[in-house]
């Protein structure tokens, strides 16, 4: 005989919006001091199947992934800001062929156009700040980096933040081991 408690939720803690961290494989030395990340929305547009009474909606065969936005505190050496800035310049309008070559050459010196992309991981932390899930983004690349506004009129120190927008192929939500689907 099954107990009435068998279907109850075991973990009654709620997911905290402050429990996350982000890393990008292409620039592992640069820690993004993230203060905001939005898990992108996924849309599955429907197709219409004609019937004799009406057009019936049916699941479509394409998923549309929204852009990934990450807001981060800029370190005083501008290391994290410049790493994204230089990546964008290399993709869009390099000053020299060498900039694009540097972007598309792996650490072994082999030219590979896949090097312009990078995988990224958004670590979702539980109430004890341990990894609960990992959102793995495949083939990320930056498409927008916001301005840095310097102003001498602020009376309080508000540290500079920047927001970077990424496009990517797909993302998977994995368990804390990074291999098992959640």
Q: How many CA atoms lie within 13 A of 76 on its CB side?
A: 1
What is the residue extent of each domain of the chain? 20-43+60-175
Separation between Cα atoms, residue 166 and residue 140, nearest integer Å: 6
Per-residue confidence band for 3, with pLDDT thresholds at 50, 70 and 90: low
Q: What is the pLDDT of residues 13-69, one digit of tens each?
A: 777 788 889 999 888 777 778 889 999 999 999 988 998 888 999 998 889 999 999
| CATH code matching the domain that covers 20-43+60-175, chosen among 2.30.110, 3.30.160, 1.25.40, 1.10.132 | 2.30.110
Q: What pairing do the DSSP bridges indicate for beta strands 55-59 and 118-125?
A: unpaired
* Tokens, residue 19: 């429990």
Which CA distances in Å does 13 have to 17, 122, 127, 128?
13, 20, 7, 10
What SS3 string covers the chain? Answer: CCCCCCCCCCCCCCCCCCCEEEEECCCCCCCCEEEEEECCCEECCEEEEECCCCEEEEECCCCEECCEEEEEECCCCCHHHHHHHHHHHHHHCCCCHHHHHHHCECCCCCECHHHHCEEEEEEEECCCCCEEEEEEEEEEEEEEECCCCCCCCCCCCCCCEEEEEEECCEEEEEECCCCCEC
pTM exceeds 0.75 for this model: yes
Residues 6+ apart with CB under 8 A from 53: none
Q: What is the pLDDT of residues 55-108, one digit of tens each?
A: 999 998 889 999 999 999 999 999 999 999 989 988 887 777 777 777 777 777
């Amino acid at each position: 005989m099954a107990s009435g408690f068998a279907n109850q939720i075991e973990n009654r803690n709620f997911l905290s919006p402050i429990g996350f961290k982000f890393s990008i494989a292409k620039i592992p030395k640069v820690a993004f001091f993230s203060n905001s990340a939005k898990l992108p929305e996924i849309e599955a547009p429907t197709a219409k199947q004609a019937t004799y009474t009406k057009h019936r909606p049916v699941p479509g065969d394409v998923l549309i992934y929204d852009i990934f936005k990450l807001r981060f505190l800029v370190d005083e050496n501008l290391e994290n800001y410049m790493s994204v800035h230089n990546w964008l310049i290399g993709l869009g309008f390099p000053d020299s062929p060498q900039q694009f070559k540097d972007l598309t050459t792996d650490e072994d010196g082999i030219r590979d156009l896949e090097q312009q992309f990078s995988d990224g991981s958004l670590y979702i932390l539980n109430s004890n700040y341990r990894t609960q899930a990992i959102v793995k983004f495949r083939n990320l690349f930056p498409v927008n980096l916001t301005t840095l506004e310097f102003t001498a009129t602020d009376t309080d120190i508000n540290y500079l933040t920047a927001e970077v927008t990424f496009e990517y192929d797909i993302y998977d939500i994995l368990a804390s081991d990074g291999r098992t689907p959640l």
